[in-house]
Amino acid sequence: PFEVSDVFEVPLAFLMDPANYERRLFRLGGTARAFYAVPYESPANGRRFFIWGATAAMLRNLYQFLRATRIGP
């Protein structure tokens, strides 16, 4: 439940907008770790979701890959 608490869909257009990605800092003791986060609120029902860590990083990498390989304007 701490890692994966729900399954939901997010529109690809939302994930392809770099403004929706946040870089956050987590401190534990004397160690700080940075991670990506993607807060999302479903327009269908107003539920709020929080994509973070490895999942958010993979989605950001997908965005960067698709942006770099885009054909046309």
pTM score: 0.78
Q: Is the pLDDT of residue 1 over 70?
A: no
Mean pLDDT, rounded, for 58-68: 92
Tell me how far CA of residue 67 lies from CA of 6, 8, 22, 52, 71, in angstroms.
28, 24, 18, 21, 9
pLDDT tens, residue by residue, 8-62: 999 999 999 999 999 999 998 899 999 999 999 999 999 999 999 899 999 999 9
Q: DSSP label at 14?
A: H
